[in-house]
Structure 1
C-alpha cells in the first residue's frame, strides 16, 4: 500500500525551545490511497513532534487515523513516513523553524564566547591592578568579576 500526501497544513504550530509541534485537525491533512482520498480525523494522535536541534520526529509510534465515508484506516507515524512522501511535506513546513533554531543556537554560542572573552579581560585587568599595587582598582574589578559570573 503506497500513500501520497494530498494536503498537509498544520492547524497550528507551537514551538517551545527546540521542540516543534505540528497539530492537525479535520480537513487540513489528507492522503491518497490508491485512487481514493482519505481525510485525517483526530481520533488518536493529532500532532507531529519534531526536535529542531536533531531534526528527529519524536512521536513515531503515535497512530494517525484517516477516513473515507465509513471506511477508516489507522497507521503509525513511522509507517506513514516509510510508505508516503510525508517527509517532503514536513521538510517544507519545518525549514523556517529549523533555520530559526540554528540561528538562535549560533547567537547563543557567540554570546557565550563574548562572555568568556570579557571574563578573561577582567582577569587580566585584575592581574595588572595587582602588579601595579592598585588596591582600589583591584577591589573594583574583583567585584565586577563576581557580578558578571553571578549574572551569567
Structure 2
C-alpha cells in the first residue's frame, strides 16, 4: 500500500499554460508497505499541470523513491491514482490557479473594453469618410460607406 507522508514543492514555476511543481529530496516522501521512502531526483523531478484543465500532463514521468539501498520507481500516473496525493497536489496549486483566474478575468475585461473602443473608432472613421465623400460629391463611395454603418 502506498500513501503520501509529505508533499511540498521545492519551488513552483508558472507560465500561461502550465504550473510546474519542482520536487527535491526532503520535500516528498511516501509510505510504501509501512516503510518511509524519500524522493530522489534520479529521473523525473517535476509535476506539470495544465492551468486550464487542472490536469497533470506528464503522467508517464517516473519518480524514484529510496530507502537505504532500495529504490522504487513510480510513475506520475500511479501517484495521481492516490487520493491523498491528489488532495495535497490540489492544495499546492490552488493559490496559483486562483491567481490565474483573476488574471484571465482582468484580461477578458480588458479585451472587451479594447474591442469596444476599436468599434467606436471604426464608426467615427466611417463617418469622417462619409463627410469626405460628400465634400467631393463621390456618390458611389458615399453609398458604400453608408451601408457599413
The alignment's TM-score, normalised by the length of structure 2, stands at: 0.82
Matching of residue 104 in structure 1 with residue 103 in structure 2: yes
Separation (CA, whole Å) in 1 of partners of 2:52 and 2:100: 7
Give unmatched runs, 5+ long, in structure 2.
135-149
Q: Summarize the alignment of residues 80-99 of structure 1 with structure 2, pairs less than 5 Å apart.
A: 80-99=79-98
Separation (CA, whole Å) in 2 of partners of 1:47 and 1:36: 23
Separation (CA, whole Å) in 2 of partners of 1:130 and 1:63: 65
Bigger radius of gyration: 2
The alignment's TM-score, normalised by the length of structure 1, stands at: 0.80
- Checking the alignment, whether the CA contact within 8 Å between 1:26 and 1:40 is kept in structure 2 is yes
- C-alpha RMSD over aligned residues: 1.8
Q: How many residues align?
A: 134
Q: What is the Cα deviation at residue 42 of structure 1?
A: 0.6
Separation (CA, whole Å) in 1 of partners of 2:99 and 2:17: 10
Matching of residue 6 in structure 1 with residue 13 in structure 2: no
- Checking the alignment, whether the CA contact within 8 Å between 1:9 and 1:28 is kept in structure 2 is yes
1:126 alignment partner in structure 2 = 125
DSSP 3-state at the match of 1:56: coil
- Checking the alignment, whether the CA contact within 8 Å between 1:5 and 1:84 is kept in structure 2 is no
Separation (CA, whole Å) in 1 of partners of 2:80 and 2:30: 12
